[in-house]
Amino acid sequence: MKIIRTFAAQYKGGDVAQLVEQRTENPCVTGSIPVVATLSTSFDVLFFLQKSLQTRSLFGILSTFVDMIDRFKNFIQQQHLFAAEDTILLAVSGGVDSMVMVDLFHQAGYPFAIAHCNFSLRDAESDEDELSVRTIAKEKYGAECFCKRFDTKSYAKQQKLSIQEAARALRYEWFELLRSQHPFTAIATAHHKDDQIETFFINLLRGTGISGLTGIPQQQNHIIRPLLFASRSEIEAFANENKIAFRNDSSNADNKYLRNKIRHQLLPLLEELNPHFTATLQQTIGNLHHTERIYREFLALQNPLVESHDGVVKISISELKKLQPCAHYLYEYIARFGFNAAQCQDICTVMESNSGKEFFSATNRLLIDRQCLFIEPLAASPTLQHYSIEEHEKSIMLPLNLQLSHHKKTEKTLLKLDKDCGSFDRDKLIFPLSLRRWKQGDYFYPLGMKSRKKLSDFFIDTKIPRTEKSKIWLLCSDDKIVWVVGHRIDERFKVDEGTRRIYKVVVSG
């Protein structure tokens, strides 16, 4: 056994050496190695290595010892990521990591669907990625596949974000929308061990608290990461051995991105200084994670000022002010939502005098109210996306489940008075209609009124809480508001004596 450990250490480094050492010396470790048990002498071991190396890499030999699928299933069970019968939405770029994740789900027998984002950043290459994912999902796995194209550059410019931040916000917002509209228990991303290490250095270089040094969590809200047990080399070896097709993203080789510079330049240098660096840092990250858990439990016991209800986190401003330094405490409470230390300092500075002010991270929105700070996922307050409704459509599922119908008006026509049902004069509408979120400056003519009213004033008059305003959709015709969905239709589009045709919209579910 010593020969295998020494050979593995020389060939691969600490990651594999540690793995082999654990499994040759501890028969209780999950995943037995029956082949090794038969190698009773040094000659047997050397002969086995020599014969095996003629046909496969050393990592291929080690994969005989440890079944990737068993490790995958064990990790999911040990971390309580989901139940075997749950349907999971897989975030699939088409790269090796996400395609291996799809194959593991398939081989393990877990129900899943696929979601692919086309960020329109690499021209034809982006379109080829989408086509590849669609084709493999259908022909190899028979899986449902959702694809969406984003104008990432325009969104980044509009929201004053970097391209990477914009892509992240768009991606997770859409994934959460899909999850909420379908019977998906969770959203799985293909982050692995090497991503953990890269994230550690990214956060360290940018400045962070203890939470930023614990790497990527296995589970965060509805996001799960079932590949965190595996390294990049293990994933690539599994793909090669199982002939899994995948796409190579050319941007992964571009060192203008910080993550790539860490991957291609910093980590190889550190591994030269310490061949076992990867395993050592993984252990350190694990230690920091446990330390953070103790720290969090202490904070919760000392100051239970954070409440959570229906996915919205509420923090009492008066209780927060009692803690000093206030900004540091706030950062430790909300860093997990993507807010940085500078934002926390700004929030503490203005929280008593700027009710209604908003702060954004890549994944969440923070609203300062009179007495509390409210934090909610961006999926609950989406960006100003427009969803088109064509005249012929009878129903749509996103962003709302709407039933759409056309009717002739007769003397017997009765209009249903219901907040979830809108009836409009068809001849006053211009198709396609659109659904969008409200924005500052929006106005409409509330039913029964002859003068226009700002939407912000309408929300105040009808006592709609600030946390609910961002969840309201507007049905529009030629960018004129037809219906504040679930609240009030516009006087200009109502059914009256001159109406001949009625367009009816019903909110379902």
Q: Are residues 7 and 35 in the same domain?
A: yes
Q: Decide if 269 is inside a domain.
A: no
* Range among 209-218, 234-243, 374-383 with highest mean pLDDT value: 234-243
Q: Decide if 202 is inside a domain.
A: no
Q: Decide if 86 is inside a domain.
A: yes
Q: Decide if 288 is inside a domain.
A: no
Res. 354: pLDDT tops 60: yes
Lowest mean pLDDT among 151-155, 173-177, 505-509: 505-509
Which structure tokens are listed for 441?
């400056």
Q: Are residues 127 and 237 in the same domain?
A: yes
Lowest mean pLDDT among 213-227, 456-470, 484-498: 456-470
Res. 85: pLDDT tops 70: yes
Res. 10: pLDDT tops 50: no
Which structure tokens are listed for 79?
């971390």
Res. 64: pLDDT tops 60: no
| Three-state secondary structure call for residue 93 | coil
Handedness of CA 75, 78, 79, 84 (dihedral sign): positive
Q: Are residues 89 and 152 in the same domain?
A: yes
C-alpha–C-alpha distance, residues 282 and 287, integer Å: 9
Q: Are residues 110 and 183 in the same domain?
A: yes
Domain end marker among 32, 49, 65: 65
pLDDT value, residue 307: 84
Mean pLDDT of 383-395: 76
* Residue 105 belongs to domain with CATH number: 3.40.50.620
Which structure tokens are listed for 124?
């034809």
Higher pLDDT, 504 or 336: 504
Q: Are residues 179 and 59 in the same domain?
A: no
Q: Are residues 56 and 147 in the same domain?
A: no
Q: Are residues 134 and 28 in the same domain?
A: no
Number of domains composing the chain:
4
pLDDT value, residue 304: 67
pLDDT value, residue 509: 62
Percent of the chain past pLDDT 90, that is, above it, reads 48
Query: CA-based diameter of the chain, in Å?
Result: 98
| Three-state secondary structure call for residue 47 | helix
Tens of pLDDT, residue by residue over 289-339, are 889 888 878 877 766 678 887 778 899 998 899 888 999 889 888 888 888
* pLDDT confidence band for 385 (50 / 70 / 90): low
C-alpha–C-alpha distance, residues 89 and 111, integer Å: 9
Q: Decide if 158 is inside a domain.
A: yes
* pLDDT confidence band for 122 (50 / 70 / 90): confident
Lowest mean pLDDT among 81-85, 230-234, 274-278, 467-471: 467-471
Domain coverage including residue 358: 305-380
C-alpha–C-alpha distance, residues 138 and 136, integer Å: 5
Average pLDDT score, the chain: 82
Q: Are residues 113 and 235 in the same domain?
A: yes
Q: Decide if 263 is inside a domain.
A: no
Mean pLDDT of 261-282: 91
Q: Decide if 494 is inside a domain.
A: yes
* Residue 459 belongs to domain with CATH number: 3.50.40.10
C-alpha–C-alpha distance, residues 86 and 183, integer Å: 9
Q: Are residues 233 and 121 in the same domain?
A: yes
* Residue 342 belongs to domain with CATH number: 3.30.465
pLDDT value, residue 447: 94
Which structure tokens are listed for 456?
């912000």
pLDDT value, residue 303: 61
pLDDT value, residue 392: 87
Q: Are residues 158 and 29 in the same domain?
A: no
pLDDT value, residue 198: 92
Q: Decide if 215 is inside a domain.
A: no
- C-alpha triplet 74, 76, 77: angle, nearest 5°: 65
Collect contacts of 336-345 with beta carbons under 8 A, ≥24 apart: 336/211, 336/220, 337/313, 337/361, 337/363, 337/364, 337/366, 337/375, 338/362, 338/363, 338/364, 339/364, 339/366, 340/206, 340/207, 341/207, 341/208, 341/209
Domain end marker among 380, 396, 415: 380
Q: Are residues 403 and 434 in the same domain?
A: yes
Q: Are residues 124 and 31 in the same domain?
A: no
Mean pLDDT of 164-192: 93
pLDDT value, residue 333: 85
Collect contacts of 455-463 with beta carbons under 8 A, ≥24 apart: 455/481, 455/484, 458/484, 458/487, 458/488, 462/487, 462/488
pLDDT value, residue 292: 85
Higher pLDDT, 509 or 76: 76
